[in-house]
Amino acid sequence: MLPPVYRYLPRQYVDSFFETGALQLSSFAKFHKHADEARGDVEEGKSMVSSQGGGRQFSAFVTTGHQAYVLSASVVLDRAVMTAFSGCDAAIEITNIPDFAQAVARQLKGFVSGISGHCIYAGRILVRHTDSDPFPLPADPKEGIPLDRMFAATAEASKHEDLFLKHRRYAYQAEYRLIWNVDHAPPAGSIIISSTEARQFCRRVSDEEVQ
């Protein structure tokens, strides 16, 4: 079982979640628009991946997560982290991450796949080292490079970690990110779902617990 994570919210949204199962999922596009510094990040979903091996290097600039919903949580329960997010004065503890994620997925039209993990605070460049050439060129240069091979090489280099890259200035948040991939772009950058099932995998954090 994974350790619990904490979702910081204004108190009325915590109340709403436990009363009706209402939960807002965001998107990378939405992160670009947040006005407060703790949430706003115009670089979310943008990175450079580089794979090196066999005396050659393959690099590509990528934008990812444009067909995904995101929920950000933290692995730490800390009042300083809570108050860094404008308007947040309460928290939800997600006690069972896999079952919570599956319950949310069942409410998402066009759900394709999901992934979750700790954010990587290492800027926007992801470097891989391999034992062989990461992107062999065709024997005949006139053949060109098929786009599907280029996309495959980029995916192999990123291994989905580009979805979790963040600038080091956000490291204090200790973010744990849940991502649901869908077959369409999120409408208006976010969505509010109602999952009464998801509530059983969470609990309300008391004020006394937040130090």
pLDDT, tens digit, for every residue of 23-66? 999 888 776 454 444 444 566 656 666 666 666 666 666 666 77
Contacts of 79 (CB under 8 A, 6+ apart): 210, 211
Report pTM: 0.79
pLDDT of residue 157: 57
pLDDT of residue 38: 46
- Mark residue 174 as left, alpha or beta (left: phi above 0; alpha: psi -120 to 50; beta: remaining): left
pLDDT of residue 1: 76
From 130, 124, 108, 191, select the one nearest 164 (Cα to Cα). Answer: 124
pLDDT of residue 63: 67
Which residues in the chain land under pLDDT 50? 32, 34-40
pLDDT of residue 52: 65
pLDDT of residue 203: 97
Distance CA 44, CA 150 (A): 22
Cα→Cα distances 164→12, 28, 153, 208, Å? 28, 11, 19, 31
pLDDT of residue 155: 61
Place of tokens 């109602």: 194
The secondary element (H helix, E strand) that includes residue 82 is helix 79-84
Distance CA 180, CA 44 (A): 16
Contacts of 33 (CB under 8 A, 6+ apart): 40, 189
